[in-house]
Amino acid sequence: MAEVIWGLATSHVPSIGAAMDRGKTEDPAWQALFDGYAPARAWLAEHRPDVAVLVYNDHANGIDLDFIPTFGLGTAERYEVADEGYGRRPVPDVLGHPELSFHLVESLVDEGFDLTVFQELAVDHGFTVPLSVWTPDPGDAWPCPVIPLLVNVIQYPQPTAARCYALGQALGRAIRSFPGDLTVGVLGTGGMSHQLAGTRAGFINPDFDAMWMEAVEKDPARLAALSREELIRQAGSEGIELIMWLVMRGALDEQVTKVHSDYFVPASNTAAGIALFDNRAPEA
Question: What residues act catalytically?
Answer: 125, 194
Among residues 9, 105, 122, 136, which one has the least CA distance to residue 58?
A: 122
Q: What's the CA gap between 223 and 220, in Å, rounded?
A: 5
Q: How far apart are CA 101 and CA 107, in angstroms?
A: 10
Distance of alpha carbon 216 from alpha carbon 74, whole angstroms:
26
Contact, 274 vs 18, CB < 8 A?
no
Count of Cβ atoms closer than 10 Å to residue 42 Cβ: 11
Per DSSP bridges, beta strands 270-278 and 3-10 are antiparallel
Angular region, 85: left φ>0, alpha ψ -120 to 50, beta rest: left
Residues facing 274 on adjacent strands: 10, 262
- What crossing angle do the helices spanning 161-176 and 243-251 adopt, rounded to 10°? 30
Cα separation, 189 vs 78, in Å, equals: 20
CA–CA distances in Å: residue 64 to residues 20, 59, 87, 149, 181: 27, 9, 18, 17, 37
